[in-house]
Amino acid sequence: MKTSMRAMVATGFGGPEVLQLQEVPRPVPAAGQVLIRVRASSVNPIDTKIRSGMLGHLAPSPLILGCDSAGEVVESGPDTTWQPGDRVMACGGGVIGYPGALAEYQVLDATLCARCPEGLSWEACAALPLVGLTAHEGLTRGGVHEGQRVLVHAGTGGVGQMTIQLAKQLGAEVWTTVSSQEKAALAKRLGADGVIFYKEKTVAEYVRQITAGGGFDVVFDTVGGENVARCLEAVGVSGTVVSISTRTSADLSPLHAKGVSLHVVFMIIPLLYNQAGPRAAQGAALAHISDLAASGSVKPLLDPHVFSFEQAGAAHALLESGKAIGKITLSGFPD
């Protein structure tokens, strides 16, 4: 057995060029862990923010990035139920203490893993974990249920597309903001009941037209920055705002004026803080998402560009360009 493996290593903080092919030690699973042969990964904003140094404290360089992974189990440590040959997916690395997916092999906490949906490619499986778990947690904490009117900002982005689909599974009426006719068509195919061309309408205009001025029951923000203020304007009295990007300054007085609840979701917290219970909960949630994907109830929206691991820098550059639609995926190193 080889004791080394290929990996794309972030050799420092900076642009996509810091991702370099290197030979590194092959990991060995400990108790409660599995070793997988990584077949695919995907790119998330957190990957690019860690690489650039914006979130460098989450993963000091050099580091193997890649939060999402899909592959087959090749070895199981003690206290696990996974067997060699099992096809699994997880969001289990790419931050401090947990090397990521951009390598031939990766060690994962067994409780974070879920079985890959039958009929999906490795790349499609690798597109599900982070965005699916983020959407699931946000909708759960937002208390979304049947009959509610939900607004999802940026419905064709990675988290947005999954939030639309999972919110529809919960019986909600879902609206989403888009910037083009192409994205509007995609959002409707994902299940959105209506679309809002945010460049053409003010928040006050679309709130009045869609909700008769009452506001949305739940607003799910995937954009952050100045958009947080728009969410506070769009939500109704006693409503809920869920955001996955609150690194900003905003006037929170509308929360008080309307009695609004604000929930912030950062789904890698169970990794960062070594929380066993929440990790197991994420594994269970991912298993549920896998079942929905296997039945065709949820379909990951994939950008047409598929990169090899050696092209990870180009994949990062595409995500940072803002031109991707859906998830950017990468195929693992060949055998």
Percent of the chain having pLDDT more than 90? 96
- Average pLDDT across the chain, whole number: 96
pLDDT tens digit string along 140-195?
A: 999 999 999 999 999 999 999 999 999 999 999 999 999 999 999 999 999 999 99
Task: Specify whether the CB–CB gap between 18 and 12 falls below 8 A.
Answer: yes
Tokens encoding 58: 């989450």
Distance CA 139, CA 25 (A): 39
- The position carrying tokens 């912030």 is 264
How high is the pLDDT of residue 2? 85
pLDDT tens digit string along 42-99?
A: 999 999 999 999 999 999 889 999 999 999 999 999 999 999 999 999 999 999 999 9
DSSP tag of 59: S
Read off the pTM. 0.97
How high is the pLDDT of residue 247? 87
How high is the pLDDT of residue 248? 87
Say yes or no to pLDDT of 1 above 90.
no
How high is the pLDDT of residue 64? 97
Q: How many distinct helices (H) and strands (E) make up the chain?
A: 11, 16
Band of residue 269 on the pLDDT scale cut at 50, 70, 90: very high
Task: Specify whether the CB–CB gap between 124 and 96 falls below 8 A.
Answer: no
Distance CA 112, CA 286 (A): 8
- The 8 Å CB, 24+ separation contacts for 265-270 are 265/134, 265/137, 265/138, 265/141, 267/91, 267/130, 267/133, 267/134, 267/137, 268/46, 268/58, 268/67, 268/91, 268/95, 268/130
DSSP tag of 311: G
How high is the pLDDT of residue 89? 98
Task: Specify whether the CB–CB gap between 153 and 227 falls below 8 A.
Answer: yes
pLDDT tens digit string along 98-116?
A: 999 999 999 999 999 999 9
Type of residue found at 254? P
* Domains defined along the chain, listed by start: 4-128+269-331 (3.90.180.10), 135-264 (3.40.50.720)
How high is the pLDDT of residue 60? 85
